[in-house]
Structure 1
Amino acid sequence: MSEPLFHMIAGGPRPVAPFSHAVEADGWVMLTGQMPTDPAAPDAPLPEGIAAQTRRVMENLEVVLKGVGLGLEHVVQCRCYLTEFERDYDEFNEVYKGFFPEDRRPARTTVGVTALAVGALVEVDCMARRPDA
């Protein structure tokens, strides 16, 4: 097993805790859960509603993936966290599915949680695989 690489992406979302944007080992890239913060304005209020927050979270995952030379097409698994599971699950799914082709959706787990950092409604982390690994 190779030594892990710890990635902090220039222009990526400002971390809300002490972590790396992504950690890579042997072709696997694990991305830290992304919040619906704006990388260009990290102190701005969060977008309103689950749809807007989900879009921002997915866009932030794209920023981190791009920073390590990958894209959403390389994602093999996602974990999704919702603070208002029953209320937001269907709307979350409507936005989320638009980021992946129907025949290439990653494995996924979605759980309801009592709270998330920065008062977010949603957080998503993921694992990607380099195609040449």
Structure 2
Amino acid sequence: MLHHMISSGPRPVAPFSHAVETNGFVFVTGQMPTDPEAPDAPLPEGIEAQTRRVMANLEIVLDGIGLGLEHVAMARIYLTQFERDYAAFNAIWPTYFEAGKLPARTTVGVTALAVGALVEIDLVVKRP
């Protein structure tokens, strides 16, 4: 089993590895909408901006281990304002993937997330 910490990746908000790899699968820890270059800066405003920052952070982690979003098999999305933000999130999500090749997905409404985020996303990725 390989435990990955990406030097250019987001600063962890808890004790974890950015990703753990075993038997060709990579489990990417849920990423927050923090800026790796300014981790103490305020979070972006709104679900659209936070989703873009989370996706950028996931891309940084994946790139750090030689993978990309095209390798994502499953995603779990956590939204603190599910009813308000679900449609806006769904409008952005497919823009990150090739048409007709969306990963499997679960989206869950939660009461709170670390650092006061509106969205967190974790991934299961398959190494080719």
Question: What's the TM-score once normalised by structure 2's chain length?
Answer: 0.99
Residue 12 of structure 1 pairs with residue 2 of structure 2: no
User: What does residue 45 of structure 2 align with?
Assistant: 48
Q: CA deviation at 1:101?
A: 1.3
Structure-2 separation of matches of 1:11 and 1:101: 26
Residue 97 of structure 1 pairs with residue 106 of structure 2: no
Instruction: Please list the CA deviations of residues 43-93 of structure 1 after superposition, one character each: whole Å capped at 9, or x if unmatched.
Output: 000000000000000110000000010000000000000000000000011
User: What does residue 28 of structure 1 align with?
Assistant: 25
Structure 1, gaps ≥5 residues long? none
Question: What's the TM-score once normalised by structure 1's chain length?
Answer: 0.95
Contact 1:37 1:44 in 2 (8 A): yes
Select 1:106's aligned residue among 103, 107, 117.
Answer: 103
Contact 1:55 1:96 in 2 (8 A): no
Structure 1 residue ranges (4+ consecutive) displaced by more than 2 angstroms after TM superposition: none
Contact 1:82 1:88 in 2 (8 A): yes
Structure-1 separation of matches of 2:22 and 2:83: 36
**Percent identity among equivalent residues?**
70
Structure-2 separation of matches of 1:30 and 1:103: 23
